[in-house]
Amino acid sequence: MSLTIREDDVGKLTDVQVLKYVHEQFLNSHVTHTVAFLCDGLEENIPLVEYINKTHNWNLAIHGWNHHNYCTMTKTQIEDELDKCILKIDNLFGVVPEKWYLPFNGFVKDKNFDLVPYVADIAFYHGVDVDNDCYHISDAVVELELGRKLNTDTVYFHSWDREDLKLLPTLLFLTTQKSCK
């Protein structure tokens, strides 16, 4: 199983000690740690930037400039924020992100979800692929414990959510077993 396990909402308010705790679990499981950044003010979290830059096993992605529904924004607003995100991640980490994990994932279905392809087309012209087909960690763990295959290749969690953090070791264990690959 090739699965992207991503941590959402990493940004200026992220506690670097929690990020280190989470990252150690990824390192111990030999799984790439994907982080989806909220880029506004990210440079203010100097300990986070320094930690990511001095360690390895990262996949750096965009979550947004802020956490809002891009499907309700104009093309100019989307392009402006996307470009700022790309430049911020490149400037701070020396990496040009290739993925944009939209805020709210499937929850944007309530408001303008039909515009996700429009947002994805804009992102494509800026060199970024949009992915919003994912499981929340709580749903993925249940499916995997029942022996079912996931019908997507992305699972997300939040390090600010204790329940998500409790499930992370189980998810890493279930997804690194030979029977799951």
Determine the average pLDDT of the residues in 128-137.
88
Judge whether residue 41 has pLDDT over 90: yes
Judge whether residue 55 has pLDDT over 60: yes
pLDDT tens profile 60-71:
999 999 998 888
Go through the domains of the chain in sequence order and give each one's CATH number. Answer: 4-180 (3.20.20.370)
**Could you tell me the strand order of the sheet in which 154-158 lies?**
129-131, 99-101, 58-64, 33-38, 4-10, 154-158, 135-136
pLDDT at 73: 84
DSSP 144: H
